Every structure is written in structure tokens, then in C-alpha cells.
Amino acid sequence: MAFPYMEAVVGFMIFMYFFETYLDIRQHKALKLPTLPKTLEGVISQDKFLKSRAYSLDKSYFHFVHEFVTIVMDSTILYFRVLPWFWKKSEHLVTLVGLNAENEILHTLGFLAGVMIWSQITDLPFSLYSTFVIEARHGFNKQTIWLFFRDMIKGMLIAIVIGPPIVAAIIVIVQKGSPYLAIYLWGFMLVLSLVMMTIYPVLIAPLFNKFTPLPDGTLREKIEKLAASLKFPLKKLFVVDGSTRSSHSNAYMYGFFKNKRIVLYDTLIQQCKNDDEVVAVIAHELGHWKLNHTVYSFVAVQHTVIPIQHLVSFGLNLVSRSFEFQADAFAKKLGYAAELRDALVKLQEENLSAMNTDPWYSAYHYSHPPLVERLAAIDKSDKKEK
């Protein structure tokens, strides 16, 4: 008697759904707490706390619905073998448009095109509700419906351009076959990741946002001085118009070897009360670079199979949280403890991030430690030095 692989996979998916729903319920209860954590009393304003609480609860309710619909659809598709059925149907679709369905590459591309369209259609109502109801209700959404659909169409066109060569290359590697097939696939994905990391910020990201050089001034001077002191090979410093889509804020860096770039969201500059708070955030990001966190994260296993992927994801989150503490400590050693603390509080307030978090939920899902833990770590190191 053959092992019921399909039933086992569906069963495991449902088990994980109930486990993660249990964690979601714990987090939901934490979000409903009517008061701030003691650590944040007097640090976060009551007005911001109430707004954060309302925003977090709205997202939590939405998450329950989204996850339930997702598990029902995914389990149904797998259990009733919809994908094998569509694989056969896609052969006819490829033939109808005048292509050779016996060509495995063309057949696979036809199949994936159908899956992509299905995913876009089924996810669209959730994306629209999340953006134009929840995000808009709490003052974050800045994009128009036209901009939303324009971004979606651009994303699909990009997938149509870069997807076929990647799929074709993978199929050719598999068709050739070899005792070293797994190594060849891993090598291909490694090279692909490096290429995408190179071309995405230069060719793809500008299709969605406008990147302009940070104007001359004290902020630019302070960032360049900090980068030079750490021997960070900063070549370009950009501001991206994140405010055209959302009032959430961020900062990141990219580039290889001696060609590094730093990108600041315009919302980050607007939300921080002074230049030193922005520089403190950059000091934290430079800490990730100086401590080689980016390299470690890149070489970590990113794609595994069920159920290992859940364990790997949990492990990577543990490592990521450790990296965040280390980067905070790095910024503190540079003399930005107070500024970083103020910036973290400000960004927590402006982004209406959850103030109360369940420890189990946080440990399983969060790649960044909650604000309470980050502030406690900064304060603890301060006390040790005193």
C-alpha cells in the first residue's frame, strides 16, 4: 500500500494552520490589552497607543479571515488534485495559441501563467481591502486606485519578461540530469539571487518609485562622515518617495564590494525630529554591514520543503532578532544610544506598530524584537557601563 503523501501534506498544512491560529489568538488577546507595557509608560503617548491598538486589531481581524480563506483554498486545490488537472488543461491552452505543447518549457510557462493569473484574481480583494480600507482608515495609504493597479500591471509585466528565461534555465538543468543536479540548481539559484540583488534596485525599483540624491546639507554630511569613519564604501545616497504610496517609513542599503548605496524613505526623514535620529537609524543599518549580518543572512537556507521550512523560518527569526540587538549595540558604541532610542520610539509611534505583543507569537513570527525588548537591551547596556 502506497504512502498517502497528498493526505499527509494536506494534514500537516491544516495542523500548522491551527497551531499558527492559536498563536494569532494569543497575539490578539495581547493587542486588546487596554494599557501600555510598563516599560513604555511615559515613553509612548496615550493617543498613539490607542491609535496603534485600533490599527493592530483591525489588521488582526483581517488576518484571521485571510488565513482561513487561504487554508481552505490551498487544501482544496491540493486534496482534489486541481494542479495536476490544470497541468493537463494548460497543454490544450498552449496548443490553442499556436505553440508546441510537447515542448516542456512552453507547457510549463503556460501552466505557470495560469497559476499567476489565478493568484492575482484570488488575492486582489484582500489587497484592495488591506490598502484602501485598513491602511486608509488609519491614515497610511497614500496611493490612488490607479496607482495600485498600475503597480500590479507593472509587476505582472516584469514577471512576464524575467520569468520565462529563469523557468527555461531550471528546466534545462533538470532535463540534463546529473548526480550533481542539486548542486547545479543551488549554484544557479545563488547566481540568480546575486543578479537580482544587483539589477532590482537599479532597473526594477525605479519603475515603481522615484530615487533622488539626498540634497547637500547637515544630514548628508553626518551620514557621509559616519560611513567614512567605518570605512563603508558609500557611493550614492538616495531619498525614495515612499510617501506616494504609504506613510510607513524605512531605510536600507544595497550594493556589492566598493559600490554601496544607502536609501532613505522620505517619510523617515519627515518623522524623525532631527538629523541625529536619522543618522542613528543609519548607524544601526551600518552595524548589520560591519558585523557581516547581510552575508550570513544571504547564505542561510531560504527555500526548503514542508515541514522543514517552518523550522528553518523559526531559526532564521531567532538569528535575525539576535542580529538586531547586535546592530543596536553597534550604534550605541558609536555614541547614538539616546538618538537611536528616540528614533525607535518615534518610528514605533508613527508606524502605529503593536505595543503589546504575546511572547510566543513574537518568538515564532517576528524577525525584529519588540520595542520593549530593544529599549530594555539599550538601557541595560547603559547601566552596565555606568
Per-residue pLDDT of 121-156, as tens digits, reads: 999 999 999 999 999 999 999 999 999 999 999 999
What's the pLDDT score for residue 1? 64
Q: Which runs of consecutive H residues, i.e. helices, occur in the chain?
A: 5-31, 46-79, 82-96, 104-129, 136-137, 145-176, 181-199, 218-229, 266-271, 275-290, 293-299, 308-331, 337-350, 359-365, 371-385
The CATH T-level fold of domain 209-385 is: Zincin-like (3.30.2010)
Which range is least confidently modeled, 62-76, 91-105, 341-355?
Answer: 91-105
- The pLDDT tens digits of the residues spanning 221-253 come to 999 999 999 999 988 899 999 988 888 888 888
Active-site choice (135, 276, 277, 285): 285
Give the closest residue to 12 by CA, choosing from 305, 288, 219.
Answer: 305
What's the pLDDT score for residue 303? 47
Catalytic residue flag (residue 102):
no
| Contacts with 156 (C-beta within 8 Å, 6 or more apart), sequence order | 116, 120
CA distance 282 to 272: 12
What grid cell was written down for 365?
513570527
pLDDT higher than 90, residue 62: yes
pLDDT, average across residues 320-341: 91
Active-site choice (266, 276, 277, 328): 328
Residue 284 marked in a binding site = yes
Residue 310 marked in a binding site = no
What's the pLDDT score for residue 320? 87
- Split at pLDDT 50, 70, 90, the class of 386 is very low
What's the pLDDT score for residue 307? 54
Q: Are 255 and 235 in contact (CB under 8 A)?
A: yes
Contacts 24+ apart (CB under 8 A), 307-314: 307/12, 307/16, 310/16, 314/364
Q: Which residue's C-alpha cell is 495581547? A: 30
Question: What are the extents of the domains in the chain?
Answer: 144-208, 209-385
- The pLDDT tens digits of the residues spanning 20-48 come to 999 999 999 999 999 999 888 888 989 99
DSSP H or E stretch at residue 265:
strand 260-265
Q: Residue 306's Cα: distance from chain center in Å? A: 20
**312: number of CA atoms within 13 Å, CB side?**
12
CA angle 288, 291, 293 (to 5 degrees): 55
> Which residues are bridge partners to 251 per DSSP?
264
CA distance 336 to 284: 9
Tell me the residue type at 64. Answer: F
Residue 288 marked in a binding site = yes
Catalytic residue flag (residue 7):
no
CA distance 270 to 251: 13
pLDDT, average across residues 368-377: 90
pLDDT higher than 90, residue 95: no
Tell me the residue type at 179. Answer: P
Instruction: Please give the span between the terminal C-alpha atoms of the chain, in angstroms, as a whole number.
Output: 69
Q: Which residue's C-alpha cell is 534545462? A: 172
